[in-house]
Amino acid sequence: MSNNSKFEEMHKQLFDEGVKVRRAVLGDEYVNNALQNATPFTMPGQQLITEWAWGTVWQRPGLDRKQRSLLNIGIIIAQKAWLELALHTRGAINNGLTEIEIREAVLQATVYCGTPAGVEAMMVTEKTINEMIEKGEYKRPEF
């Protein structure tokens, strides 16, 4: 096997494993759309994200998926990346975080990232959770 073949096989394995984790966290619909709508220009980015983030980092020992989702919420709020926050709010619910844990993460981030970021994050996370409830993807527990 040539070095190039080994390299390609390594990438394929990371990509395939990454797709499995990405689907488990973000859902089939999102992953299908992301991959099917990728253009020749954007596909290398999809491959990088899938291999590096999902195929490597999300599978490392030391943190479970729920903990990684909690971290992502805070990091994404700090970046003010609202589309990613909606996406990772879904992932957080899928990984077992509760609404209260998500809300508390937003409040914690508000203190360190600023009130405007916190207000926007609260609106994004609540809207996402409500959409999941409307679609039957999540059932709100009794508070």
pLDDT tens, 104-127? 999 999 999 999 999 999 999 999
- Report the length, in residues, of the chain: 143
Whether residue 2 is predicted with pLDDT greater than 80 in this model: the reply is no
Residue 92 CA to residue 66 CA, distance in Å, equals 6
Angle at 100 between CA 96 and CA 106, to 5 degrees: 100
Burial of 116 (0-12, 13-18, 19+ CB in 10 A): exposed
Residue 8 CA to residue 68 CA, distance in Å, equals 28
Q: Is the CATH number of domain 63-143 1.20.1530.20?
A: no
Whether residue 1 is predicted with pLDDT greater than 70 in this model: the reply is no
Task: Mention every residue, 6+ apart, whose C-beta is less than 8 A from residue 60.
Answer: none
User: Could you tell me the end-to-end alpha-carbon distance of the chain, in angstroms, rounded to an integer?
Assistant: 59
pLDDT in the model for residue 4:
84
Taking residues 71-83, report their average pLDDT.
Answer: 98
Helices (H), 27-64: 28-36, 43-48
Whether residue 7 is predicted with pLDDT greater than 90 in this model: the reply is no
Residue 42 CA to residue 65 CA, distance in Å, equals 26
One-letter amino acid at 56 equals T
pTM tops 0.85 = yes
In the chain, residues under CATH classification 1.20.1290.10 are: 63-143
pLDDT in the model for residue 141:
83
Residue 31 CA to residue 90 CA, distance in Å, equals 13
Could you report the per-residue pLDDT of 12-63, keeping only the tens digit for each? 999 999 999 999 999 999 999 999 999 999 999 999 999 999 999 999 999 9
